[in-house]
Each structure stands twice: as C-alpha cells, then as structure tokens.
Structure 1
Amino acid sequence: MAKYKKYNYSQMIMIPVSLQDQLMPGTLEHAIHEVIEKKVDLSIFDEKYKNDETGAPAHDPKLLLKVVLLAFSRSIIGSRKIERACQENITFMALSCGMAPDHSTLAHFISAMKDEIIHIFRDVLLYCEELNLLGGTHFSLDGCKLPSNASKQWSGTFKELRHKQKKLEEKVKKLISDHEREDKQEGGSDRSKKEKQIKRIERRIKRIDKFLNENKPKKGKTKKELQSNVTDNHSAKMPTAHGVIQGYNAQALVDNKHQIIVHAEAMGNGQDADNLSPMVDRAKENMKAIGRDENYFKDKILTADANYHSKKNIEKCEKERIDAYIPDTLHRKRDERFKEQDRFKDGVNKPPKKRWYTPKRETFSWKEFQYVEEVGKYKCPAGKYLKQMSLKHKSRNKYYRYYQARETDCRECSLKSKCLSKTDSKSRSLLIPIGYRNDNERILSISQRMQQKIDSDKGKDIYSKRLGTIEPVFGNIRFIKKLDRFSFRGKSKVNIQWMLYCMVHNIEKIMNYGFTV
C-alpha cells in the first residue's frame, strides 16, 4: 500500500525573508525600486509635511510611489486592493519594507500629487535619455478614449439638467401622494422602503441644483452649449468604436526608437485635432526640463493619424519647423495599396441600401469645356461661350475662376440634360481651379501640400512607421496592464493616473533595453 507524507493546512510556519532578495534583477519590481530610489528626486514632497517637530512620522513618498507603480503594472487599481497586496504579497511587502500603508494613505498620495507628477515623469524621462533610449528623430502622436468614473445619465445641457430636476421633483410628489394614500389603507406597502426611495431622489435633486448654481454652461467652438456632467464636469461624451462613453481622451507623444513616452496627458476633449498643439508645447517643456534645447523638435518627424488633420495643426507644425506627416481622411482612397481593402469588410457583397436622397445627375466636367485663349472664355460642348464672372472665387479653401453661361443659351439646348445637374437650374456655371492649365502656377492650400507630401513614396514610407511606434504603447497599457477605465474624477486626478501608467511603461522599457545593475 502506498505511503504519502501527511500535510496540514492549519499549521503555522515561520519563514525568514530577506526583503532585498525578493527584488530580483531583471524583474519590473527591481527596475521600479532602482529607478525611484536612485534616479527620481522626491524632495518636492517635503514641503507638504509639517511634522519635523510634532506629529507622527509619515510614510516615505518613495515607498508609496514604488508600491503604486508596481500595483498599476499588475492591473491592481483600487487602493484597498493595493493595501491588501502590501499585507499578503511578498513582493509588495518587500517593496514597502513591510510597512503596509493603508488604503486612505495610498488614495490620498495618488490624488494629491497634482504638482509633483510632472517632475517625477521628467526624472524618469531624463534617465531614459541618459541610457540613450530616445532616438530623437521620429515621434508619433495618438490618443485613446477611456471611460471615467462618471455616468452618461448625469450629462446634459443646463436646460436638459433643469428638465431632469423637474422630472425628479414630480416623481417625489407622486411618491409622497401614493405613500399617503396607501397609509390610509390597511396592509399598505413597507413605509421605510418608500421613505428611502424619496430621500434618494431628493438627494439627486439637491445634487443637480448645487451643480447648476456653482457652474456655468460650457461653450464649444461655435458658441453652442456643450453637455456638462454633474459627476465629473471635466469629462466629456466621446464616440468610440464601442459606442458613446463619458470619459477622457488619453494622449501620448512617443519616440519611435524604443517607444518611450515623452509626454502624456488626459484631455477632456474627444476631438484629437484640438490636442496636437498643447501636446507639442508640453513635450517641448519636458525636453527643456531634462536639458535639451527648446527647439528640440525642429526638423524632427511627427506622424499622427487623420483625426489630427486640420489647417490649424499643420500651421502649428510649420511654425515649429516640425516635419509633420498628418494625412487627410481620404488618403487611403488615393493609395493603391488599399484599393482592395473593402473586400475584407463584412457585408461588402450585400446589395446596396436604398438611398434616402436623390443622387445628382452625371454632367459634363469642367475638363470637357474648351478654353479659347483669344477671347478669354470657355466654350461648352454645344459651342456656346461662358462669360467670366469672377477672377478669383474662393470655395472650400480653394481658389477658382468663375464662369457663367447665358440663360437663353441653356434654355433650348439639346445637351441640357447632360450639362445641368438639377432640372430647375437655369444656366451652367463653371468653377475652374486656378493654375490647372499650368501646374507650375497652381495655388495649393496648406492641406493640399500635406496631401502631396503624404502621397509621395517618402511620405508613405515614413507614415507606415507610425503604427509600429504608437500602437504598441496603447496595447501595453490597455491590454497588458488592463487600464480599461479611469477610476478617479476630475481632470487633474485622471491625469495623474494616466501619467503613472505611462511611467510604468517607460520604466519597463528601461528594464528591457537600458537598465544595468
């Protein structure tokens, strides 16, 4: 008969543990310990403590920061979960030297480092620079929209929020009325349950009322009122591939050599086009803070996707002398490499949906009109002349020469159906792009110049590197570190959380590519 050693889970054992031996070289916890201990200056926290003569000693910010960074790297976000890890997990115990800070200390430490977070981020960035992890030639910018600790149900314009408040007040009146009526009857419903429901709705009414009294409506670019949020008014409603969320747009500017993040910031704006300028300006401040020239980004390559394409952003890059590659939304339509991309989409072979509008008739293009240089006019396919009405006509940021046919010439024309796009049009007008008869004289808008740059072989090659630079960063933070939503409220606190995750990413790069014991 087989004989086995007996075991007993109720027994207790004593294990001698060397805290330093638990932080093994080559692990992320060891890298965090070495970087924070030797390369990050946390003396900026000293001014916050007034306990040099009286009061209990505080937890060292270095220990707290190490614990938080390790927790985020292991997808542990809640302060109570971090506290429990410091009590039960030997690695967390080693990193905190067995002090086990409680959840309130950890939560306050994270949310209160509003002014210190950028200095810590820059110290880590400086170490990346010292280890030669920055290429300094090509940078990519992108954003990731994440939900925050706020509900879409508490969003709306001030008019909509007042309407919601009024509806809740009417609901309270109805509940009180029903409650009084049921009290008169025998066997009425539970009194305490109804009272709790009424108090809960009254708290919501007061919450909306307080918000409306303490805040002002948010205005957009067109002066139209934007939706506010009672829970977190710095967050915004943002459309994503998975529907509309209430959250923040987490931006990152990344160097392409080892995907080091040179600046990170959580924006309460879902439009990426509005975020390029502040990201570039603050990245310049970061590079200046670590000893680089304020013109560090001059002549450097910057790639960003079509969401950042705007006249304002391209002008910003030209002003900063940045070699930007920012395509328009139609760049793939012009690229032969993507001409068969539709066949991979679902439903591509399905019959087309019925249009809700009447498409325009196909008519003669301007190229089918002949320019007669002797008279300075265009001749239509029917042989009639169109008179020049404007020498320089602007439409959609492009310049044209404007020509117009006579109504009498078009009225009885046999080619009318092929020339006029609408049945009720009286005459044909013609917009000739300035310079098309001589490409050397063609006037290009700033967007058109960017289109030519992107469509060139060099532009295609450079832009193709964007995907391998920026996407691994968000893949690491979102899917490996599992940051699928922000747990804080308010832009400053959410920004702290986002920058801490970006620091974890940078320290991981230090461990993999530059860290030496």
Structure 2
Amino acid sequence: MARYRQYDYNQLIMVPVSLEDQLIPGTLEYAIHHVIEERLDLSNFDDRYCNDETGRRAIAPKVLIKIVLFGYSRGMISSRSLERACFENITFMALACGQKPDHSTIAAFVSSMDNEIELLFTKVLLICEEEGLLSGTHFSLDGLKLSSNASKEWSGTFADLKKKQEALERKVKEAVREHRVTDKREGNENVSDQLRREKRIERLRQKVDRIEKFLSDNEPKIGSSGKEIQSNVTDNESAKMATSHGVLQGYNANAIVDEKHQIVLHAAAFGKGEYSSNMVPMLEGAKEKLEAIGWKEPLKERQISADTGYYSVKNLEVCKEHEVDAYVPDPQFRKRDIRFADAGRHRRSVDKRKEKYKSKKRWFSVEDFKMDDHSGKLICPAGHGLYISNRNFITAVGYKAIAYQAPKTACCDCRLRSKCLRKPETVSRQVHVFYGKRPGSITDEMKQKIDTAEGRHIYSKRLGIVEPVFGNIRACKKMDRFTLRGQIKVNIQWVLYCLVHNIEKIINYGKSYAAV
C-alpha cells in the first residue's frame, strides 16, 4: 500500500521575513523604493500635515507613494485593492514597511496631491537626466483618449438635459399613478412588489433632483466655436470624444516624449476631444520642466513631431516663435505622398460601396459663364448678371479668386436652375474666377517641409517614440480608464502613471543601475 507524508493544516510555522530582502535589485519595486527613498526629497509634502505637536502620527508620504506607484504598475488602480495588497502581498508589505494604510487614506492622498505631483515628476525627470536617459534631439507629442468615471448617457446640452428631466418627471407621475391603481385593486399586495415599486419611484425622483440641481448650479459650456457644447451631470470637466471604437465620455491624456529612451517629459489630461488646443500648453509644460532640470532654451531648434490632430495655424506660429523644428502634417499629407498613390487598389470590396456616387449629370461650370467687359459683370447661361461678393477670396490651399454671386431673384424661377445648382435648397449660384496664388504662408512652409523625403523620414519616427509609451501604460499597466472625477484629480492619476513609466526606464537603462 502506498505511503505518503503526513500533513496537518493546524500546524503553525514561524517564518522569519526580512522586508528589505523582498525588494530584489533589478526589479521595478526595488527601483521605486530606491528612487523614492534615496534620491528624492519629499519635504514639500510636510505642509499637508498639522501634527507637529498634537495629533496622531501620519503615514509617511514616501510609503504611500511607493504603494501607489507599484500598485499602478501592476494594474491595481483602486484604493481598496491597494489596501488589500498591503495585507496579503509580501512585496507591498515590504514597500509599506509593514504599515497597513486604510483605503480612504490612500484615496485622499492621491486625489489631493495636485500641488506636489508636478514637482515630484520634475525631480524624477532630473534623475533621468543624471542617468543619461535624455537625448534632446527629437520630442514627440501625442494623446490618448480614455474613459472617465462618468456615463455619456448623462451628457447633453442644457436643453437636452431639461428634456431628460421632463421625461423622468413624466415617468415618476406614471409610476405613482400605477402604484395607486394597484393599491386600490389589490388590497393584499405582496410586500416585496410594493417595496420594489416604491424604490423605483424613489430612484426616478433622485435622477430628477440630480439634473435639476446640476442645471441650477452650473452654466452651459461654450466650445471654441462659440456654440454650446455638451455638459455632463456626473463629471462636467470631462467631454464626449469620438474614437475609432465609438464615442466615449472621458479625457484626452497627452504626453510629450523624448526619443532616446521614451522618457515622458511632460504629461497632462484635458477635458477636450480635440488635440489642436493642447499643443501649446504641452510645449510650455515641457519647456518649464526642462528648464527646471537645467536645460537652457530647451525647445530651440529641437525636432518636435505631432500627428495631424495638432495641425493648426496657431500651433505652427507658436512653434516658429519658439524656433522649434516642428513636423506637424496637415490632414491631406498622405494624399500627396507618391508612395500612397495606389493605396486605393488595396481597399476591400465592401469599402467601395461607401464611396460617393458620381453622377453623370453635367452642371454649368465656370467656363459657361462669360464676362461682360462693358458692365464688368459675369453673365450666366440664362443671361443674368452676377455681382462681385468678394474681391479677395482665398481658398484653403492658397489660390486667390474673385467671388461672384447671382441675385436671389434671378435664380428663384430660372428655367436653367436644375442645370446650374447642384442642390435644390441652394438659394443662388456662386462662381469663383481664379487669378493667382497668395504668397507662401506658414502652412505652405510646413507642407513643403513634410513632403520632402527627409521630412517624411523624421515624421515617421513619431510612431516609435510616443506610441510605445501609451502601449506600456494602457496594455502592460492596465490603465484603460480613469477612476477619479474632475480634471485636477484625473491629471494626477495620468501623471502618476507616466511617473511609473519613467522609473521603469531608470531601472532598465540608467547608468547607476546597470550593474544592479
């Protein structure tokens, strides 16, 4: 008969554990511990506490930062999961030095460190500079749209939210009416069904009160175009954003990254779906941080690449003002690239159904309009004269033209209207007579720069500089959504993740850690 070793789960074992031995050199937890404990001065956190003479001793900020950074590196973003790890995971126990902070302590610490996080990030960036991880030859800027802790169902203009409130009020009245009818019809109604209906009515009333309070306490949000944009009842600083996977309610997390080892120079989260308005504050933020670590004129003559979302005249002018060697292509730059001339033949057949139908119908072109030298008017095929509406019209690509427009009365009952106006709702015909091209602008300079072989080569580096950072944070660190609300708190969370990324680069490529 087979014999086995005896075992008893009631047996006690005393295991000596050295907390310092759990932080093995060469690991990320060791890097976090060493950088925070040995190389950073966190005295700026002291002003947060008022327990010099009285009150309970607080958990050291260094301990809390270690727990948060290591937890973020393992995809543990909630404060409750971090608290549990300090009880169950030996690595967290070692980083916390046996202390067990409550989840409310961790959450309050993270969400309130907006005054300290930027200085902390700058100090880690200085360590990256000391370790030889920055090249300063090429910076790349990009953004990542992430969901916020708010539902897009609670978004809308003030008019939309008012309609939603009225619809919920109608539901409340209908639910109350049904409740009363049921009470009269069924005297001995099941208590659980009655409670269920009462809870539903209460939930609907809470939603109505929530929208009413939001509308009374807030003003409509105005976009860059001057028109009202959608607000959100839960997190009004977040925004609805279109992505390749649909529309989400969230924040636009931006980062500007150095070429050599993908070190994040500056990180910030914005409650805007568009990218173009983020470029100037990102450049200014990177400039401030690089100056803080000792760089002089950090943006001058540096190559900075950004994708087409950041393309705007204002951004190009700012880059020129700071003497930045910028590479920001316009949205049509690939259509001018001869390498993509045959790209259409690689389309799937299903995509061709989405192409616009090309009508065989012919409308009157500019050549069908004749100039009357005596009156100076442009004469249409029906014999009506067009007046000049704009003598200095300039197209998007820089061509100059004189814009002519027909009187509304002439086109209203014209017998040739169907051959002249492509759309029935158009009031009158407009014609542009081109006569030249305006002088080169800053946008023309960028197009010429990007269209060169060297420009395309430099711009192509962008993908390998900034995208790996987002891949590391989103896929490896499991940062797929923000859990906090409000731009300040969300920005803290985003900067902390970029901080983890930079510390990981320090342990992997830093000179002081090469022999570790």
* Superposition TM-score, scaled by structure 1 size: 0.86
Tell me, yes or no, if structure 1 residue 251 matches structure 2 residue 254: yes
Q: What is the aligned partner in structure 1 of residue 65 from structure 2?
A: 65
CA distance in 2, matches of 1:26, 1:50: 37
Q: What is the aligned partner in structure 1 of residue 189 from structure 2?
A: 188
Q: What is the aligned partner in structure 1 of residue 506 from structure 2?
A: 510
CA distance in 2, matches of 1:196, 1:421: 60
Q: What is the aligned partner in structure 2 of residue 447 from structure 1?
A: 443
CA distance in 1, matches of 2:205, 2:420: 63
Q: What is the aligned partner in structure 1 of residue 271 from structure 2?
A: 268
Q: What is the aligned partner in structure 1 of residue 334 from structure 2?
A: 332
The change in CA–CA distance for 1:171 and 1:116 in structure 2 (over 3 A counts) is: same
1:104 CA displacement: 0.8
1:330 CA displacement: 1.4
RMSD: 3.0
1:303 CA displacement: 0.2
Q: What is the aligned partner in structure 2 of residue 217 from structure 1?
A: 220
Q: What is the aligned partner in structure 1 of residue 325 from structure 2?
A: 323
Q: What is the aligned partner in structure 2 of residue 376 from structure 1?
A: none
CA distance in 2, matches of 1:64, 1:350: 53
CA distance in 2, matches of 1:357, 1:194: 57
Matched to 1:78, the amino acid is S
Q: What is the aligned partner in structure 2 of residue 474 from structure 1?
A: 470
1:464 CA displacement: 1.1
Q: Where in structure 2 are the equivalents of 1:96-115 lying within 5 Å?
A: 96-115=96-115
Q: What is the aligned partner in structure 1 of residue 497 from structure 2?
A: 501
CA distance in 1, matches of 2:197, 2:488: 39
CA distance in 2, matches of 1:262, 1:250: 14
Q: What is the aligned partner in structure 2 of residue 458 from structure 1?
A: 454
1:480 CA displacement: 0.6
The change in CA–CA distance for 1:255 and 1:351 in structure 2 (over 3 A counts) is: closer
Q: What is the aligned partner in structure 1 of residue 206 from structure 2?
A: 203
1:188 CA displacement: 3.5
Q: 2:243 aligns with which of 229, 240, 244?
A: 240
How big is each residue's C-alpha offset from its partner over 1:283-304, in whole Å with a ceiling of 9 and x where there is no partner? Answer: 11111222222x2101100000
* Ranges in structure 2 where 5+ consecutive residues have no aligned partner: 368-387, 405-418
Q: Where in structure 2 are the equivalents of 1:38-437 lying within 5 Å?
A: 38-186=38-186, 187-188=188-189, 190-293=193-296, 295-345=297-347, 347-348=348-349, 351-353=352-354, 355=356, 358=359, 361=362, 393-396=393-396, 398-402=398-402, 430-434=433-437
1:466 CA displacement: 0.6
Tell me, yes or no, if structure 1 residue 37 matches structure 2 residue 37: yes
Aligned identity (percent) is 53
1:6 CA displacement: 3.1
Matched to 2:452, the amino acid is S
The change in CA–CA distance for 1:470 and 1:362 in structure 2 (over 3 A counts) is: farther
Matched to 1:330, the amino acid is Q
1:428 CA displacement: 7.5
CA distance in 2, matches of 1:116, 1:501: 15
Matched to 1:239, the amino acid is A
* Superposition TM-score, scaled by structure 2 size: 0.86
CA distance in 1, matches of 2:222, 2:468: 35
CA distance in 2, matches of 1:500, 1:172: 44
CA distance in 2, matches of 1:355, 1:299: 44
How big is each residue's C-alpha offset from its partner over 1:36-67, in whole Å with a ceiling of 9 and x where there is no partner? Answer: 11222211111111111111100000000001
The change in CA–CA distance for 1:9 and 1:341 in structure 2 (over 3 A counts) is: farther
Q: Secondary structure at the match of 1:352?
A: helix
Matched to 2:113, the amino acid is M
CA distance in 2, matches of 1:403, 1:81: 65
The change in CA–CA distance for 1:312 and 1:196 in structure 2 (over 3 A counts) is: same
* Residue pair 1:342, 1:348 contacting (<8 A) in 2 also: no
* Residue pair 1:397, 1:445 contacting (<8 A) in 2 also: no
1:30 CA displacement: 0.1
1:403 CA displacement: 9.4
1:348 CA displacement: 3.6
* Ranges in structure 1 where 5+ consecutive residues have no aligned partner: 367-388, 405-418, 435-441
* Residue pair 2:391, 2:403 contacting (<8 A) in 1 also: no
Q: Secondary structure at the match of 1:159?
A: helix
1:276 CA displacement: 0.3
Matched to 2:260, the amino acid is K
Tell which deviates more after alignment, 151-160 or 243-252. 151-160
* Residue pair 2:75, 2:479 contacting (<8 A) in 1 also: yes
Q: Secondary structure at the match of 2:448?
A: helix
Matched to 1:188, the amino acid is E
1:490 CA displacement: 0.5
Tell which deviates more after alignment, 36-45 or 395-404. 395-404
Q: How many residues align?
A: 479
How big is each residue's C-alpha offset from its partner over 1:210-238, in whole Å with a ceiling of 9 and x where there is no partner? Answer: 11111110001221111100100000000
1:395 CA displacement: 3.1
The change in CA–CA distance for 1:18 and 1:448 in structure 2 (over 3 A counts) is: same
1:3 CA displacement: 3.5
Q: Secondary structure at the match of 2:142?
A: strand
Matched to 1:160, the amino acid is D
